[in-house]
A and B are shown apart, each in its own frame.
Chain A
Amino acid sequence: MALRTEELMLNMGPQHPSTHGVLRLVVTLDGENVMDVQPDIGYLHSSVEKMMEHRTYVQNVALVDRGMDYLIALNNEQAYCLAVEQLAGIVTPERARYIRVIFDELNRIASHLVWLGTWAIDLGATTVFLWCFREREMILDLFEKVTGGRLHHVYYRLGGVYADLPEGWVEECGAFLDYFLTRVDEYETLLTKNPIFLARTKGVGTISRADAIAMGASGPVARASGVAYDVRKAAPYEVYDRMEFNVPVLTDGDCYARYLVRLTEMRESVRILRQALLNLPGGEIRARVPMTMKAPRGEIYVHTESPRGDLGIYLVSDGGETPYRVKIRAPSFSNLYALTEMMKGWKIADVIAILGSIDIVLSDVDR
Protein backbone atom coordinates (compact mmCIF):
# COMPACT_ATOMS: atom_id res chain seq x y z
CA MET A 1 0.00 0.00 0.00
CA ALA A 2 1.34 3.40 -0.88
CA LEU A 3 2.05 5.68 2.03
CA ARG A 4 -0.23 8.69 1.98
CA THR A 5 1.65 11.93 2.56
CA GLU A 6 0.52 15.50 2.54
CA GLU A 7 2.13 18.89 2.72
CA LEU A 8 2.44 20.59 6.05
CA MET A 9 1.89 24.27 6.64
CA LEU A 10 4.19 25.65 9.28
CA ASN A 11 3.89 29.05 10.87
CA MET A 12 7.17 30.63 11.83
CA GLY A 13 6.86 33.77 13.88
CA PRO A 14 5.90 36.48 14.60
CA GLN A 15 7.63 35.57 17.83
CA HIS A 16 10.63 33.56 16.77
CA PRO A 17 14.16 34.19 17.94
CA SER A 18 15.53 34.04 14.40
CA THR A 19 13.10 36.21 12.49
CA HIS A 20 14.96 39.35 13.55
CA GLY A 21 11.82 41.10 14.61
CA VAL A 22 8.21 40.36 13.95
CA LEU A 23 8.18 38.62 10.60
CA ARG A 24 5.83 35.72 10.04
CA LEU A 25 6.75 33.09 7.51
CA VAL A 26 4.18 30.62 6.28
CA VAL A 27 6.31 27.69 5.21
CA THR A 28 4.86 24.82 3.20
CA LEU A 29 6.80 21.66 3.90
CA ASP A 30 7.00 18.29 2.23
CA GLY A 31 8.75 16.30 4.89
CA GLU A 32 11.78 18.41 5.56
CA ASN A 33 11.82 20.09 2.18
CA VAL A 34 10.59 23.61 1.79
CA MET A 35 8.06 23.80 -1.03
CA ASP A 36 6.98 27.38 -0.60
CA VAL A 37 7.53 30.32 1.71
CA GLN A 38 5.17 33.24 2.03
CA PRO A 39 6.32 36.11 4.22
CA ASP A 40 3.51 37.81 6.12
CA ILE A 41 4.51 41.34 6.98
CA GLY A 42 2.92 44.36 8.60
CA TYR A 43 3.34 43.53 12.27
CA LEU A 44 5.47 46.63 12.77
CA HIS A 45 3.69 49.03 10.46
CA SER A 46 4.20 52.41 12.11
CA SER A 47 2.75 54.53 9.29
CA VAL A 48 5.80 56.75 9.18
CA GLU A 49 5.11 57.98 5.66
CA LYS A 50 1.73 59.30 6.75
CA MET A 51 3.14 60.83 9.92
CA MET A 52 5.78 62.70 7.99
CA GLU A 53 3.04 64.60 6.21
CA HIS A 54 2.00 66.11 9.51
CA ARG A 55 5.42 67.26 10.69
CA THR A 56 7.61 70.02 9.39
CA TYR A 57 10.69 69.30 7.34
CA VAL A 58 12.90 70.02 10.33
CA GLN A 59 10.95 67.79 12.72
CA ASN A 60 10.96 64.88 10.34
CA VAL A 61 14.69 64.31 10.86
CA ALA A 62 13.85 62.84 14.26
CA LEU A 63 11.15 60.67 12.78
CA VAL A 64 13.19 58.95 10.07
CA ASP A 65 15.56 57.67 12.77
CA ARG A 66 12.88 55.58 14.34
CA GLY A 67 10.21 55.05 11.75
CA MET A 68 12.55 53.65 9.13
CA ASP A 69 15.29 51.11 9.64
CA TYR A 70 16.29 51.64 13.25
CA LEU A 71 19.73 50.08 12.98
CA ILE A 72 20.93 52.72 10.55
CA ALA A 73 19.50 55.94 11.93
CA LEU A 74 22.26 58.08 10.44
CA ASN A 75 21.92 56.60 6.96
CA ASN A 76 18.19 57.34 7.09
CA GLU A 77 18.89 60.91 8.09
CA GLN A 78 21.35 61.10 5.22
CA ALA A 79 18.77 60.05 2.67
CA TYR A 80 16.07 62.31 4.04
CA CYS A 81 18.26 65.41 4.46
CA LEU A 82 19.67 64.91 0.99
CA ALA A 83 16.18 64.81 -0.49
CA VAL A 84 15.02 67.99 1.24
CA GLU A 85 18.27 69.79 0.53
CA GLN A 86 18.09 68.99 -3.16
CA LEU A 87 14.47 70.04 -3.31
CA ALA A 88 15.03 73.31 -1.49
CA GLY A 89 18.40 74.00 -3.02
CA ILE A 90 20.31 74.10 0.27
CA VAL A 91 24.08 73.88 -0.09
CA THR A 92 25.83 71.95 2.66
CA PRO A 93 29.28 73.14 3.77
CA GLU A 94 32.25 71.00 2.83
CA ARG A 95 33.12 69.97 6.37
CA ALA A 96 29.57 68.79 7.09
CA ARG A 97 29.63 66.61 4.00
CA TYR A 98 32.80 64.91 5.13
CA ILE A 99 31.41 64.44 8.63
CA ARG A 100 28.31 62.88 7.12
CA VAL A 101 30.35 60.40 5.13
CA ILE A 102 32.27 59.49 8.28
CA PHE A 103 29.09 58.82 10.20
CA ASP A 104 27.41 56.98 7.34
CA GLU A 105 30.30 54.58 7.15
CA LEU A 106 30.59 54.12 10.91
CA ASN A 107 26.91 53.30 11.00
CA ARG A 108 27.37 50.86 8.14
CA ILE A 109 30.01 49.02 10.13
CA ALA A 110 27.82 49.03 13.25
CA SER A 111 24.87 47.67 11.29
CA HIS A 112 26.94 44.94 9.65
CA LEU A 113 28.25 43.98 13.08
CA VAL A 114 24.72 43.50 14.40
CA TRP A 115 23.90 41.44 11.32
CA LEU A 116 26.99 39.25 11.65
CA GLY A 117 26.45 38.70 15.36
CA THR A 118 22.79 37.80 15.15
CA TRP A 119 23.21 35.65 12.07
CA ALA A 120 26.08 33.76 13.66
CA ILE A 121 24.00 33.15 16.77
CA ASP A 122 21.23 31.77 14.55
CA LEU A 123 23.76 29.35 13.13
CA GLY A 124 24.95 28.40 16.60
CA ALA A 125 28.12 30.47 16.89
CA THR A 126 27.54 32.44 20.06
CA THR A 127 31.05 33.81 20.40
CA VAL A 128 30.78 35.83 17.23
CA PHE A 129 27.77 37.63 18.66
CA LEU A 130 29.67 38.65 21.76
CA TRP A 131 32.69 39.77 19.79
CA CYS A 132 30.67 41.79 17.31
CA PHE A 133 28.80 43.60 20.02
CA ARG A 134 32.08 44.35 21.78
CA GLU A 135 33.28 46.32 18.76
CA ARG A 136 29.87 47.80 18.16
CA GLU A 137 29.88 49.33 21.63
CA MET A 138 33.09 51.12 20.71
CA ILE A 139 31.43 52.63 17.65
CA LEU A 140 28.47 53.64 19.78
CA ASP A 141 30.88 55.35 22.17
CA LEU A 142 32.28 57.31 19.24
CA PHE A 143 28.73 58.25 18.25
CA GLU A 144 27.83 59.24 21.75
CA LYS A 145 30.72 61.63 22.08
CA VAL A 146 29.48 63.59 19.09
CA THR A 147 25.74 63.11 18.86
CA GLY A 148 24.81 62.25 22.43
CA GLY A 149 22.84 59.20 21.36
CA ARG A 150 23.62 55.53 20.98
CA LEU A 151 20.97 54.41 18.56
CA HIS A 152 18.90 57.42 17.58
CA HIS A 153 20.94 60.52 17.02
CA VAL A 154 19.00 63.29 15.25
CA TYR A 155 22.46 64.50 14.34
CA TYR A 156 22.08 65.58 10.73
CA ARG A 157 20.32 68.84 10.09
CA LEU A 158 19.00 70.27 6.90
CA GLY A 159 22.11 71.96 5.56
CA GLY A 160 24.71 70.29 7.75
CA VAL A 161 25.13 68.56 11.05
CA TYR A 162 24.16 69.55 14.55
CA ALA A 163 27.52 69.73 16.33
CA ASP A 164 31.17 69.73 15.42
CA LEU A 165 33.48 66.86 16.29
CA PRO A 166 34.94 67.28 19.77
CA GLU A 167 38.67 67.65 20.27
CA GLY A 168 40.62 64.44 19.88
CA TRP A 169 37.72 62.58 18.27
CA VAL A 170 39.42 62.19 14.91
CA GLU A 171 42.47 60.55 16.47
CA GLU A 172 40.28 58.32 18.58
CA CYS A 173 38.32 57.23 15.54
CA GLY A 174 41.58 56.55 13.68
CA ALA A 175 42.82 54.40 16.55
CA PHE A 176 39.56 52.49 16.56
CA LEU A 177 39.87 51.78 12.83
CA ASP A 178 43.31 50.24 13.29
CA TYR A 179 41.99 48.09 16.10
CA PHE A 180 38.86 47.17 14.20
CA LEU A 181 40.71 45.74 11.19
CA THR A 182 42.47 43.21 13.42
CA ARG A 183 39.08 42.25 14.85
CA VAL A 184 37.59 41.60 11.41
CA ASP A 185 40.42 39.15 10.82
CA GLU A 186 39.50 37.58 14.11
CA TYR A 187 35.88 37.06 13.05
CA GLU A 188 37.20 35.37 9.95
CA THR A 189 39.19 32.90 12.01
CA LEU A 190 35.93 31.84 13.63
CA LEU A 191 33.78 31.56 10.55
CA THR A 192 35.36 31.74 7.11
CA LYS A 193 36.98 28.31 7.10
CA ASN A 194 34.84 26.75 9.79
CA PRO A 195 33.51 23.46 8.31
CA ILE A 196 30.18 23.70 10.13
CA PHE A 197 29.67 27.24 8.94
CA LEU A 198 30.66 26.27 5.40
CA ALA A 199 28.26 23.34 5.39
CA ARG A 200 25.41 25.56 6.46
CA THR A 201 26.06 28.48 4.13
CA LYS A 202 28.09 27.47 1.10
CA GLY A 203 25.85 26.81 -1.87
CA VAL A 204 22.76 27.36 0.30
CA GLY A 205 20.02 29.77 -0.69
CA THR A 206 21.32 30.68 -4.09
CA ILE A 207 19.73 33.30 -6.26
CA SER A 208 20.84 34.00 -9.80
CA ARG A 209 21.83 37.40 -11.11
CA ALA A 210 18.76 37.64 -13.33
CA ASP A 211 16.45 36.73 -10.46
CA ALA A 212 18.11 39.20 -8.13
CA ILE A 213 17.53 41.99 -10.62
CA ALA A 214 13.99 40.88 -11.38
CA MET A 215 13.10 40.82 -7.67
CA GLY A 216 14.52 44.29 -7.09
CA ALA A 217 17.19 43.09 -4.70
CA SER A 218 19.93 45.56 -3.95
CA GLY A 219 22.87 46.05 -1.67
CA PRO A 220 24.94 43.09 -0.49
CA VAL A 221 22.24 40.62 -1.55
CA ALA A 222 22.45 41.74 -5.18
CA ARG A 223 26.22 42.17 -5.11
CA ALA A 224 26.68 38.61 -3.89
CA SER A 225 24.79 37.49 -7.02
CA GLY A 226 27.01 39.41 -9.38
CA VAL A 227 25.13 42.69 -9.72
CA ALA A 228 27.91 45.27 -9.61
CA TYR A 229 25.78 48.15 -8.41
CA ASP A 230 26.47 50.50 -5.54
CA VAL A 231 24.75 53.88 -5.32
CA ARG A 232 27.89 55.37 -3.83
CA LYS A 233 29.59 54.61 -7.17
CA ALA A 234 26.69 54.84 -9.57
CA ALA A 235 25.21 58.12 -8.32
CA PRO A 236 27.65 59.54 -5.77
CA TYR A 237 26.24 61.81 -3.11
CA GLU A 238 28.03 63.94 -0.50
CA VAL A 239 31.75 63.39 -1.13
CA TYR A 240 31.78 59.74 -2.14
CA ASP A 241 33.06 60.66 -5.58
CA ARG A 242 36.35 61.76 -3.99
CA MET A 243 36.82 58.53 -2.06
CA GLU A 244 38.71 55.58 -3.34
CA PHE A 245 37.10 52.27 -2.55
CA ASN A 246 36.14 49.01 -4.15
CA VAL A 247 32.71 47.49 -4.36
CA PRO A 248 32.93 43.79 -3.57
CA VAL A 249 31.05 41.69 -6.09
CA LEU A 250 30.77 37.91 -6.01
CA THR A 251 28.89 35.66 -8.36
CA ASP A 252 27.92 32.64 -6.24
CA GLY A 253 24.72 34.20 -4.92
CA ASP A 254 24.65 31.98 -1.84
CA CYS A 255 24.65 32.76 1.88
CA TYR A 256 28.40 32.42 2.03
CA ALA A 257 28.89 34.99 -0.73
CA ARG A 258 26.62 37.41 1.07
CA TYR A 259 28.70 36.92 4.18
CA LEU A 260 31.94 37.58 2.32
CA VAL A 261 30.52 40.66 0.61
CA ARG A 262 29.55 42.22 3.90
CA LEU A 263 32.87 41.41 5.53
CA THR A 264 34.69 43.06 2.64
CA GLU A 265 32.34 46.02 2.84
CA MET A 266 33.36 46.58 6.42
CA ARG A 267 36.99 46.70 5.35
CA GLU A 268 36.17 49.07 2.50
CA SER A 269 34.27 51.29 4.92
CA VAL A 270 37.41 51.51 7.00
CA ARG A 271 39.24 52.63 3.87
CA ILE A 272 36.68 55.35 3.19
CA LEU A 273 36.77 56.44 6.81
CA ARG A 274 40.54 56.76 6.77
CA GLN A 275 40.43 58.99 3.69
CA ALA A 276 37.62 61.11 5.09
CA LEU A 277 39.38 61.58 8.43
CA LEU A 278 42.59 62.49 6.66
CA ASN A 279 41.06 65.02 4.28
CA LEU A 280 38.55 66.49 6.74
CA PRO A 281 38.46 70.21 5.91
CA GLY A 282 37.82 72.97 8.44
CA GLY A 283 35.11 75.57 8.32
CA GLU A 284 31.40 75.75 8.86
CA ILE A 285 29.37 72.67 9.71
CA ARG A 286 25.92 73.98 8.94
CA ALA A 287 24.25 76.23 6.44
CA ARG A 288 21.70 78.70 7.72
CA VAL A 289 18.29 77.12 7.35
CA PRO A 290 15.29 78.70 9.10
CA MET A 291 13.35 76.50 11.53
CA THR A 292 10.16 77.23 9.62
CA MET A 293 11.65 76.12 6.35
CA LYS A 294 9.38 75.85 3.34
CA ALA A 295 10.34 73.74 0.36
CA PRO A 296 9.36 74.99 -3.06
CA ARG A 297 6.60 73.24 -4.93
CA GLY A 298 7.91 70.18 -6.72
CA GLU A 299 9.00 66.59 -6.27
CA ILE A 300 12.28 64.78 -5.90
CA TYR A 301 13.63 61.26 -5.71
CA VAL A 302 16.95 60.70 -3.99
CA HIS A 303 18.58 57.38 -3.34
CA THR A 304 21.54 56.43 -1.21
CA GLU A 305 23.40 53.26 -0.37
CA SER A 306 22.27 52.09 3.03
CA PRO A 307 23.88 49.02 4.62
CA ARG A 308 20.94 46.98 3.37
CA GLY A 309 20.84 48.32 -0.13
CA ASP A 310 19.34 51.05 -2.24
CA LEU A 311 17.44 53.37 0.09
CA GLY A 312 15.33 55.88 -1.77
CA ILE A 313 13.13 58.76 -0.68
CA TYR A 314 10.50 60.28 -2.91
CA LEU A 315 9.24 63.62 -1.67
CA VAL A 316 6.43 65.78 -3.00
CA SER A 317 6.09 69.34 -1.79
CA ASP A 318 3.15 71.68 -2.29
CA GLY A 319 5.16 74.66 -1.12
CA GLY A 320 4.23 74.37 2.54
CA GLU A 321 6.12 73.64 5.73
CA THR A 322 5.36 69.94 5.66
CA PRO A 323 5.86 67.44 2.87
CA TYR A 324 2.78 66.68 0.84
CA ARG A 325 3.69 63.05 0.34
CA VAL A 326 6.68 60.91 1.23
CA LYS A 327 7.42 57.48 -0.16
CA ILE A 328 10.26 55.42 1.13
CA ARG A 329 11.87 52.79 -1.06
CA ALA A 330 13.03 50.39 1.62
CA PRO A 331 15.84 48.00 0.68
CA SER A 332 14.77 45.30 3.12
CA PHE A 333 11.30 45.24 1.59
CA SER A 334 12.64 44.62 -1.88
CA ASN A 335 15.14 42.08 -0.68
CA LEU A 336 12.31 40.20 0.98
CA TYR A 337 10.83 39.50 -2.47
CA ALA A 338 13.86 37.43 -3.28
CA LEU A 339 13.38 35.33 -0.16
CA THR A 340 10.82 32.91 -1.58
CA GLU A 341 13.02 32.23 -4.57
CA MET A 342 16.04 31.61 -2.34
CA MET A 343 14.31 29.24 0.04
CA LYS A 344 12.43 26.94 -2.32
CA GLY A 345 13.88 23.46 -2.38
CA TRP A 346 16.00 23.78 0.73
CA LYS A 347 15.55 22.05 4.05
CA ILE A 348 13.66 23.56 6.95
CA ALA A 349 16.87 24.17 8.89
CA ASP A 350 18.21 26.28 6.04
CA VAL A 351 15.30 28.67 6.33
CA ILE A 352 16.99 30.29 9.32
CA ALA A 353 20.35 30.57 7.59
CA ILE A 354 18.85 32.09 4.44
CA LEU A 355 16.59 34.50 6.28
CA GLY A 356 19.50 35.75 8.37
CA SER A 357 21.72 36.13 5.33
CA ILE A 358 19.54 38.77 3.66
CA ASP A 359 19.88 40.99 6.74
CA ILE A 360 16.30 41.97 7.18
CA VAL A 361 15.04 44.65 9.53
CA LEU A 362 11.30 44.62 9.97
CA SER A 363 11.00 48.29 10.70
CA ASP A 364 12.37 48.88 7.23
CA VAL A 365 9.99 46.39 5.65
CA ASP A 366 6.80 47.57 7.32
CA ARG A 367 7.61 51.23 7.89
Chain B
Amino acid sequence: MNTLKTSTTMATGSATPAAAPTGPAGEPLPRRSQISPIADAVAIMDQIPGGGLILTTVEAALNWGRASSIWPLTFGLACCAIEMMAAYASRFDLDRMGIIPRATPRQADLIIVAGRATIRIAPIVRRLWEQMPELRYVISMGSCATCGGPFYYDNYSILKGIDQVIPVDVYVPGCPPRPEALIEGILKLQEKIKREPILRQQAAAALRGA
Protein backbone atom coordinates (compact mmCIF):
# COMPACT_ATOMS: atom_id res chain seq x y z
CA MET B 1 0.00 0.00 0.00
CA ASN B 2 2.62 2.31 1.15
CA THR B 3 4.71 1.67 -1.93
CA LEU B 4 1.84 2.47 -4.25
CA LYS B 5 1.10 5.75 -2.57
CA THR B 6 4.66 6.89 -2.80
CA SER B 7 4.95 5.96 -6.44
CA THR B 8 1.78 7.76 -7.52
CA THR B 9 2.64 10.93 -5.68
CA MET B 10 6.08 10.97 -7.15
CA ALA B 11 4.76 10.31 -10.64
CA THR B 12 2.17 13.07 -10.49
CA GLY B 13 4.73 15.37 -9.07
CA SER B 14 7.00 14.99 -12.02
CA ALA B 15 4.43 14.73 -14.83
CA THR B 16 3.28 17.83 -16.68
CA PRO B 17 -0.31 18.56 -15.66
CA ALA B 18 -1.62 19.38 -19.16
CA ALA B 19 -0.98 16.09 -21.04
CA ALA B 20 -2.93 13.29 -19.42
CA PRO B 21 -2.36 10.13 -21.50
CA THR B 22 -5.28 9.12 -23.71
CA GLY B 23 -6.05 6.12 -25.87
CA PRO B 24 -6.87 6.19 -29.63
CA ALA B 25 -10.52 7.09 -28.90
CA GLY B 26 -9.54 9.79 -26.45
CA GLU B 27 -10.42 7.73 -23.37
CA PRO B 28 -8.05 8.15 -20.37
CA LEU B 29 -5.55 5.35 -19.98
CA PRO B 30 -5.05 3.63 -16.61
CA ARG B 31 -2.50 5.51 -14.58
CA ARG B 32 0.94 3.99 -14.17
CA SER B 33 3.73 5.01 -11.92
CA GLN B 34 6.14 5.35 -14.89
CA ILE B 35 8.98 4.44 -12.59
CA SER B 36 9.69 0.76 -12.95
CA PRO B 37 7.65 -2.23 -14.02
CA ILE B 38 8.82 -4.14 -10.97
CA ALA B 39 7.72 -1.38 -8.63
CA ASP B 40 4.32 -1.35 -10.37
CA ALA B 41 3.93 -5.09 -10.17
CA VAL B 42 4.85 -5.18 -6.50
CA ALA B 43 2.40 -2.39 -5.75
CA ILE B 44 -0.42 -4.17 -7.59
CA MET B 45 0.35 -7.51 -5.95
CA ASP B 46 0.32 -5.89 -2.54
CA GLN B 47 -3.18 -4.59 -3.22
CA ILE B 48 -4.89 -7.79 -4.29
CA PRO B 49 -5.78 -10.43 -1.70
CA GLY B 50 -3.25 -13.25 -1.63
CA GLY B 51 -0.88 -11.18 -3.73
CA GLY B 52 1.77 -11.24 -1.05
CA LEU B 53 1.86 -15.02 -1.22
CA ILE B 54 2.29 -15.00 -5.00
CA LEU B 55 4.99 -12.41 -4.67
CA THR B 56 6.87 -14.51 -2.15
CA THR B 57 6.57 -17.59 -4.35
CA VAL B 58 7.90 -15.76 -7.38
CA GLU B 59 10.71 -14.40 -5.25
CA ALA B 60 11.54 -17.89 -4.01
CA ALA B 61 11.74 -19.18 -7.59
CA LEU B 62 13.95 -16.27 -8.67
CA ASN B 63 16.18 -16.67 -5.66
CA TRP B 64 16.54 -20.38 -6.24
CA GLY B 65 17.82 -19.59 -9.71
CA ARG B 66 20.19 -16.92 -8.49
CA ALA B 67 21.55 -18.98 -5.64
CA SER B 68 22.18 -21.96 -7.88
CA SER B 69 24.17 -20.06 -10.46
CA ILE B 70 26.54 -17.77 -8.63
CA TRP B 71 29.22 -16.68 -11.05
CA PRO B 72 32.35 -15.48 -9.32
CA LEU B 73 35.06 -13.32 -10.80
CA THR B 74 38.42 -15.01 -11.29
CA PHE B 75 40.48 -12.77 -9.13
CA GLY B 76 43.16 -14.11 -6.83
CA LEU B 77 45.41 -12.02 -4.68
CA ALA B 78 47.69 -14.30 -2.69
CA CYS B 79 47.99 -17.73 -1.09
CA CYS B 80 44.27 -18.11 -0.48
CA ALA B 81 43.74 -17.93 -4.24
CA ILE B 82 45.55 -21.24 -4.60
CA GLU B 83 43.03 -22.87 -2.31
CA MET B 84 40.29 -21.16 -4.30
CA MET B 85 41.73 -22.72 -7.45
CA ALA B 86 41.80 -26.07 -5.70
CA ALA B 87 38.13 -25.59 -4.89
CA TYR B 88 37.40 -25.06 -8.60
CA ALA B 89 39.48 -28.07 -9.61
CA SER B 90 38.98 -31.79 -9.63
CA ARG B 91 38.36 -32.89 -6.07
CA PHE B 92 36.12 -30.15 -4.80
CA ASP B 93 34.60 -29.15 -8.12
CA LEU B 94 32.57 -26.02 -7.53
CA ASP B 95 30.99 -26.41 -10.97
CA ARG B 96 28.54 -28.90 -9.58
CA MET B 97 27.05 -26.10 -7.51
CA GLY B 98 26.58 -23.95 -10.57
CA ILE B 99 29.62 -21.86 -9.76
CA ILE B 100 31.42 -20.99 -12.96
CA PRO B 101 34.31 -18.53 -12.84
CA ARG B 102 34.02 -15.53 -15.14
CA ALA B 103 37.00 -13.57 -16.34
CA THR B 104 35.31 -10.18 -16.42
CA PRO B 105 33.50 -8.32 -13.65
CA ARG B 106 30.69 -7.44 -16.05
CA GLN B 107 29.46 -11.02 -16.01
CA ALA B 108 30.15 -11.81 -12.39
CA ASP B 109 27.89 -11.54 -9.41
CA LEU B 110 30.31 -12.63 -6.75
CA ILE B 111 33.84 -11.52 -6.00
CA ILE B 112 35.87 -13.79 -3.76
CA VAL B 113 38.59 -11.64 -2.28
CA ALA B 114 41.14 -14.41 -1.81
CA GLY B 115 44.24 -13.32 -0.01
CA ARG B 116 45.93 -10.28 1.37
CA ALA B 117 45.09 -6.99 -0.28
CA THR B 118 47.75 -4.33 -0.25
CA ILE B 119 46.91 -0.68 0.04
CA ARG B 120 48.02 -0.37 -3.57
CA ILE B 121 45.54 -2.95 -4.88
CA ALA B 122 42.62 -1.73 -2.73
CA PRO B 123 41.32 0.87 -5.22
CA ILE B 124 41.47 -1.73 -7.96
CA VAL B 125 39.41 -4.18 -5.93
CA ARG B 126 36.95 -1.36 -5.34
CA ARG B 127 36.79 -0.59 -9.06
CA LEU B 128 36.23 -4.23 -9.95
CA TRP B 129 33.41 -4.37 -7.44
CA GLU B 130 31.89 -1.23 -8.90
CA GLN B 131 32.05 -2.72 -12.40
CA MET B 132 29.99 -5.71 -11.36
CA PRO B 133 26.26 -5.51 -12.09
CA GLU B 134 23.95 -4.88 -9.14
CA LEU B 135 22.98 -7.60 -6.75
CA ARG B 136 26.61 -8.42 -6.26
CA TYR B 137 28.10 -10.28 -3.37
CA VAL B 138 31.47 -10.38 -1.70
CA ILE B 139 33.13 -13.25 0.09
CA SER B 140 36.20 -12.38 2.07
CA MET B 141 38.35 -15.48 2.01
CA GLY B 142 41.08 -15.89 4.58
CA SER B 143 42.20 -13.97 7.61
CA CYS B 144 44.11 -11.43 5.55
CA ALA B 145 41.10 -10.29 3.58
CA THR B 146 39.03 -10.33 6.74
CA CYS B 147 41.20 -8.38 9.14
CA GLY B 148 44.76 -8.08 7.88
CA GLY B 149 45.66 -11.58 8.80
CA PRO B 150 47.40 -13.49 11.51
CA PHE B 151 50.74 -12.10 10.38
CA TYR B 152 50.31 -8.75 8.75
CA TYR B 153 48.84 -6.81 11.68
CA ASP B 154 51.98 -4.73 12.21
CA ASN B 155 52.88 -4.04 8.66
CA TYR B 156 52.84 -0.95 6.50
CA SER B 157 51.63 -2.24 3.18
CA ILE B 158 48.71 -4.58 3.82
CA LEU B 159 45.13 -3.38 4.12
CA LYS B 160 43.65 -4.43 7.45
CA GLY B 161 40.54 -6.03 6.06
CA ILE B 162 38.94 -5.71 2.65
CA ASP B 163 35.71 -4.47 4.31
CA GLN B 164 37.37 -1.09 4.50
CA VAL B 165 36.79 -0.69 0.76
CA ILE B 166 33.88 -2.96 -0.17
CA PRO B 167 30.99 -4.40 1.86
CA VAL B 168 31.44 -8.07 2.68
CA ASP B 169 28.63 -10.63 2.84
CA VAL B 170 30.41 -13.71 4.11
CA TYR B 171 33.70 -14.00 5.96
CA VAL B 172 35.58 -17.27 5.64
CA PRO B 173 38.26 -17.57 8.32
CA GLY B 174 41.46 -19.53 7.99
CA CYS B 175 45.02 -19.14 6.81
CA PRO B 176 44.37 -20.41 4.22
CA PRO B 177 40.80 -21.68 4.55
CA ARG B 178 40.50 -25.20 3.23
CA PRO B 179 38.42 -25.58 0.08
CA GLU B 180 35.74 -27.14 2.27
CA ALA B 181 35.63 -23.93 4.27
CA LEU B 182 35.19 -21.89 1.10
CA ILE B 183 32.36 -24.19 0.03
CA GLU B 184 30.76 -23.69 3.44
CA GLY B 185 31.04 -19.95 2.90
CA ILE B 186 29.36 -20.25 -0.48
CA LEU B 187 26.55 -22.31 1.05
CA LYS B 188 26.08 -19.56 3.62
CA LEU B 189 25.90 -17.03 0.80
CA GLN B 190 23.29 -19.18 -0.96
CA GLU B 191 21.24 -19.20 2.24
CA LYS B 192 21.47 -15.45 2.36
CA ILE B 193 20.46 -15.07 -1.28
CA LYS B 194 17.48 -17.38 -0.78
CA ARG B 195 16.18 -15.25 2.07
CA GLU B 196 16.32 -11.98 0.17
CA PRO B 197 12.98 -10.31 -0.76
CA ILE B 198 14.48 -9.47 -4.12
CA LEU B 199 11.40 -8.01 -5.86
CA ARG B 200 10.48 -5.79 -2.94
CA GLN B 201 14.09 -4.68 -2.63
CA GLN B 202 14.27 -3.81 -6.29
CA ALA B 203 10.97 -1.96 -6.16
CA ALA B 204 12.14 0.03 -3.17
CA ALA B 205 15.46 0.74 -4.88
CA ALA B 206 13.68 1.92 -8.03
CA LEU B 207 11.47 4.25 -6.00
CA ARG B 208 14.45 5.59 -4.12
CA GLY B 209 16.28 6.23 -7.33
CA ALA B 210 13.29 7.90 -9.06
Contacts and interface: CB of A to CB of B under 8 A. Distances in A.
A349 to B, nearest CB: 15
Contact of B90 (A17, A50, A137): A137
A101 B75 CA distance: 34
Contact of B116 (A46, A50, A117): A46
Interface stretch (A60-68, A87-95, A173-181): A60-68
B187 interface: no
Contacts, number: 94
Contacts of A63: 151
Nearest to B120: A43
Contacts of A140: 86
B45 interface: no
Interface in B102-131: 103, 105, 116, 118, 120-121, 124, 128
Q: Is the interface of B mostly helix, strand, loop or mixed?
A: loop
Contact of A46 (B74, B124, B158): B158
A133 B91 contact: yes
Contacts of B152: 46, 51
Range of interface residues on A (Cβ < 8 Å):
35 or more
B154 interface: yes
A42 B120 contact: yes
Contacts of A17: 74, 103
Interface residues of B, number: 33
Contacts of A14: 121, 124
B181 to A, nearest CB: 11
A151 B156 CA distance: 25
A71 B76 CA distance: 13
A47 B79 contact: no
Contacts of A133: 85-86, 89-91
B89 A130 contact: yes
A219 to B, nearest CB: 19
Given A66-B151, A71-B82, A134-B90, 18 more contacts: A14-B124, A17-B103, A21-B77, A22-B77, A42-B118, A43-B118, A45-B157, A47-B158, A51-B154, A66-B78, A66-B175, A114-B82, A114-B85, A133-B91, A136-B86, A137-B91, A150-B83, A150-B176
Interface of B: 73-79, 81-83, 85-86, 89-91, 103, 105, 116, 118, 120-121, 124, 128, 151-152, 154-158, 175-176, 178
